[in-house]
């Protein structure tokens, strides 16, 4: 069998897509593992539902607890001051933020271009939203469906908990997901090495 590092590029890309789709459907603990391995790509964030995007932001955002007023334009702010403020925020918090892709994706779905999200300025977010209009509309529809299903699920879960029928994620399913995280990490490292990209 070929090792990951020597597999053809097309096979690597296909496998990466497969792993990404699988991991997007996993529980939040697995997604946090991905974040901690620096594997929360834009492609993966786009496949997450809104509650998962929010959960990742709540647990790993670099700007947590910071003065978020700085992320939005102040009253009467001059163009020059706005530019300085944006550069300061992006450089200080967003550039190294491990959940920047989730932050941008949620802001685009919420049509929230009133401040800095995912390291992008308001104008950059509007451009991004235009470029992804169709995909975002589909994602919003999915999110609305999930929100409706969630209330039905919670009602059913409460009933199941009373009768002892509630099933939790098993250690085996978590273990399988963690193996997928490790494989994705190896795959990404191999592709980076192949292109000479070491960042």
Give contact residues for ligand SF4 (rule: CB under 6 A): 57, 61-63, 71, 93-94, 97, 99-100, 103, 116-119
- Would you call 199 helix, strand, or coil by DSSP? coil
- CA–CA distance, 105 with 118 (Å, rounded to integer): 8
Question: 60 or 188, CB closer to ligand SF4?
Answer: 60
CB atoms within 10 A of CB 139: 21
Q: How far is the CB of 2 from ligand SF4 (least distance, A)?
A: 37
Question: 107 or 136, CB closer to ligand SF4?
Answer: 107
Question: 26 or 117, CB closer to ligand SF4?
Answer: 117
Q: How far is the CB of 199 from ligand SF4 (least distance, A)?
A: 18
For the record, the structure tokens of 50 come out as 């809104």
Q: What is the DSSP string of 99-122?
A: THHHHHHHHHHTT--SB-BTTB-H
Q: How far is the CB of 55 from ligand SF4 (least distance, A)?
A: 13
- CA–CA distance, 49 with 28 (Å, rounded to integer): 11
Question: 99 or 177, CB closer to ligand SF4?
Answer: 99
């Amino acid at each position: 069998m070929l090792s990951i590092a020597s597999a053809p590029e097309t096979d690597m890309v296909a496998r990466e897509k497969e792993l990404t789709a699988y991991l997007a459907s996993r529980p939040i603990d697995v997604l946090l593992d991905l974040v901690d391995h620096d594997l929360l790509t834009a492609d993966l964030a786009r496949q997450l539902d809104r509650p998962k995007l929010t959960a990742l932001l709540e647990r790993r955002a670099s700007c947590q607890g910071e003065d978020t007023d700085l992320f939005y334009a102040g009253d009467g702010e001059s163009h020059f001051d706005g530019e300085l403020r944006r550069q300061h925020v992006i450089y200080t918090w967003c550039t190294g933020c491990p959940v920047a892709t989730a932050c941008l994706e949620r802001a685009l779905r919420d049509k929230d271009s009133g401040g800095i999200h995912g390291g992008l300025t308001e104008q950059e977010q509007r451009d991004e939203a235009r470029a992804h209009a169709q995909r975002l509309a589909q994602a919003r529809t999915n999110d609305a469906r999930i929100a409706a299903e969630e209330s039905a699920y919670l009602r059913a879960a409460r009933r199941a908990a009373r009768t002892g029928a509630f099933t939790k994620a098993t250690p085996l399913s978590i273990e399988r997901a963690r193996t997928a995280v490790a494989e994705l990490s190896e795959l990404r490292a191999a592709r980076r090495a192949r292109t000479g990209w070491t960042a």
